[in-house]
Structure 1
């Protein structure tokens, strides 16, 4: 499916400028040191933590692996944590074509590169939809699936409305600080504190390669929404334990979506609501998310094989 680069990938351009923040995580803390090629596209990833069992994190649409940064230190105490940027996102390469099968290939190739034969698969938003497809297509690779506030809809549903970008051109800002200041969580929600959002915003921007200034890292030529019917078909084939976690104040997982999830996900799925959380609960309800995954660490000890045993 791909091959592993033998040398660490080059540090992103202008990284020195990005490391000047006085407080909190620096950009160097977010940098992904390793690369695997998937159909010729570089996918950046990292492995950390002292646990004997694997946990892999899949970010959402137009996002990047840094969305998980607040959870990472605690997860590393219990798990071997695998994180990466999907193609078209973060520091991974861009393609001419994207889709759920492409992103699933990114995921599986990263797992192959790090020798992970079974993991707890954790996805936020679109990442949860990718997790559903990956879990259905590769059931032996995962001991369980956690979906954090992922939209599930019946087959044939019209696509959700998304804010569009100017066609055929990248959005540019004069400086890194101006670009990062324009960062907003989507869908809109009460923003966590500036200290929480700043590292995520700073990692989301890069120097423009087309002209002077700064722009977003995600592929602005157009990232498609996931094929909903492909996701729906996968739900019926899931055989691993599934945890569907809803944010109580989410604008993505409505009561209607939650009701469909209960009907479509396999019998035995565990449904959890974090009452006061919004869609980006991995940022604004970090402690609650960590408590859930801590409970799962004990529950899955018998079903997620230690990575060192192959």
Structure 2
């Protein structure tokens, strides 16, 4: 699942649960998908500020031929396996990795989170997974992961060969203050960072999968992809979490606490002062591909950064148009960024 920033919340009756009619059964999937998720990967972990950060890697590390390393960063409440159907398409001549940010997937939870810590995790995985052996690597971040990607560019973009932001919500920058994408909540707020929430426990995996939905709310056609990310995002509940359910149940992997409600701010209009090449991919039907913020972004990108719009795609565009997304990103990376030195 991804970030929860939407202009309006849909009524419960309007929520789209794509898998509800399947009763927990797996839908049929095409050969390309089955082949991709069956592609072997190296599994690893690196410790960052006391938390073990899990990652998967595809492709050879020591080959003298090939392109830059590539790191995929997932959205909010998601996990690295959102990228498993896609990463093998890029690993024939690249070292490719996907990580679980702390508090999500199989990585450890923290007492408190910050954007700076998430950037630390990104660079730690780049180093541990050997993504920089062929020169400065490229990061691709979706939604919340796009904010993390931009934060990495702002802080240490000179270490990167390029960064691709995929359908991340961005508003208009203040000419003096830069971007404040998410404001920190006051300490006395009922939703302030650090507030403890308990996980919602479901009696069965089948019920969880049937109730799975994308955030923001949107339709989904390729049910095999939705089913896959739902199954990879659940875990058996701990007995201490189950309460009156006799120690049995299932829940989602992400940290249910609202401890990620930190401020996300960028000091500058990033396109005018980027420390590495930037590119942008958006879904034509995405709520985030509308409005003044997107118009400003497109105007600033003109002549500076590639800007790709995927037709007939919503916010989760890789799930909406999977092969179009692969083709667009492959084409982008084949000709961009322009390579000078390493």
User: Which TM bucket (shorter chain)?
Assistant: 0.7 to 0.9
Query: Partner of 2:207 in structure 1?
Result: 178
Q: Residue 72 of structure 1: which of 87, 93, 99 is its match?
A: 87
Aligned to 2:157: 139
Task: Report what 2:114 is aligned to.
Answer: 99
Give the paired residue count: 283
SS in structure 1 of the partner of residue 215 of structure 2 = coil
Match of 1:109 among 96, 121, 124: 124
The aligned counterpart of 1:148 is 166
Asked whether 1:199 is paired with 2:228, we answer: yes
User: 2:141, 2:165 within 8 Å by CA — same for their partners in 1?
Assistant: yes
**1:296 equivalent in alignment to 2:329:** no
Contact 1:94 1:219 in 2 (8 A): yes
* Cα pair 1:119 1:304 within 8 Å, conserved: no
- Measured in 2, the distance between the counterparts of 1:29 and 1:179 equals 27
Give the Cα separation in 1 of the matches to 2:303 and 2:288.
23
**Distance change in 2, residues 1:260/1:215 (3 Å):** same
Structure 2 runs not aligned, ≥5 long: 1-24, 61-65, 174-178, 185-190, 243-247
Structure 1 unaligned regions, length at least 5: 1-19
Is 1:269 paired with 2:305? yes
What TM-score results when the alignment is normalised by the length of structure 2? 0.73
Q: CA deviation at 1:151?
A: 0.9
Q: CA deviation at 1:252?
A: 2.6
Question: How far did 1:239 drift?
Answer: 2.8
Worse overlay, 225-234 or 205-214:
225-234
Match of 1:228 in 2: 264
Relative to structure 1, is the Cα distance of residues 137 and 159 closer, same or farther in structure 2, using a 3 angstrom cutoff? Answer: closer
- The answer to whether 1:41 aligns with 2:45 is no
Check the 8 A contact 1:46/1:83 in 2, yes or no: yes
Deviations 1:125-181 (A, max 9, x none): 111111111012112321111111011123356759xxx8x9621101001221122
Q: Measure, in 2, the Cα distance between the counterparts of 1:88 and 1:149.
A: 22
Q: Which TM-score applies when normalising by structure 1?
A: 0.81
Query: Secondary structure of the residue that 1:77 maps to in structure 2?
Result: coil
Query: Taking structure 1 as reference, are residues 243 and 75 closer, same or farther at Cα in structure 2, changes over 3 Å only?
Result: same
